[in-house]
Amino acid sequence: MVYQVIIPAAGQGKRMGAGKNKLLLELNGIPVFVHTLKVFEEDEACGKIILAINPQDELVFKELIKQYNLKKVDRLVEGGRERQQSIHNALKTIEDGEVILVHDAARPFIQKDSIRRLTESAKTTGAAILAVPVKDTIKKAADGNVTETIDRSSLWAVQTPQAFRISILREAYEKAEQENFLGTDDSSLVERLRYPVSVIEGDYDNIKLTTPEDLFFAEAILNKRSSIGNY
């Protein structure tokens, strides 16, 4: 099944503190966002990539897309102040189709098999997210004191991609805008309309590069993959 993917890349990377968009930092000599886009470029089920960018990065992104021959990038869309606005701007340009994926450019280690399982699920259920079981014990606290230990067996750490029937994601984004709701992921916009969302188990390698130490984890993941194969 052919899907389209929106890739938000219009952030500033403030927590990375690199003085530029963290997506332009290199891993193994290749910019982070190129690693991410290559996965979709090489996935035959991916039809088109719609990339949301900050206009100040436009020239450098265009240059790199050409240099790395990323043919599936159908268009660049201007991002917004928040991630949600960047995705909404992109969503407004999407033609009809069955399934749309949203995937953060800052997660370069996504694997094709996870995308396939996620997409298949969204096709039948309407909405699906990738997540991994939480490993740490999670507690709530207030004023420096524990108030509650949460049962870990029902907790999932949520990643991207998230996949949706296009009509559902459109409705969710429009309602969120009308009602001034700002969510931390795409699924939360869909959940508030009471659509069921399936959870698909992904893998722990699919980290988001957020703070400087994540670059060391990223190197380790790349080394693991080159020494024992891309499993």
Binding site for ligand CTP (CB under 6 A): 8-15, 23, 52, 79-83, 86, 104-106, 208, 210
User: Could you tell me the CA-to-CA distances from 170 to 82, 90, 198 in Å, in that order?
Assistant: 17, 11, 18
> What is the closest distance, in whole angstroms, from the C-beta atom of residue 17 to ligand CTP in the complex?
8
Which of 13, 31 has the CB closer to ligand CTP?
13
Which of 22, 72 has the CB closer to Mg ion?
22
For ligand CTP, the nearest residue by Cβ is: 11
Dist. CA 136–CA 152, nearest whole Å: 8
User: Which entry of ligand CTP, Mg ion, none binds 10, CB below 5 to 8 A by partner kind?
Assistant: ligand CTP
Contact code string over 2-41 relative to Mg ion, x by CB under 5 A: ---------x------------------------------
Q: How buried is 59 (Cβ within 10 angstroms: 0-12 exposed, 13-18 middle, 19+ buried)?
A: exposed
Which of 98, 158 has the CB closer to ligand CTP?
158
Which of 12, 167 has the CB closer to ligand CTP?
12
**Phi, psi values for residue 13, rounded to 5°:** 65, 40
Q: Which residues does 162 contact at the CB level (< 8 Å), separation at least 6? A: 101, 102, 103, 118, 127, 128, 129, 130, 185, 186, 187
Binding footprint of Mg ion on the chain (CB under 5 A): 11
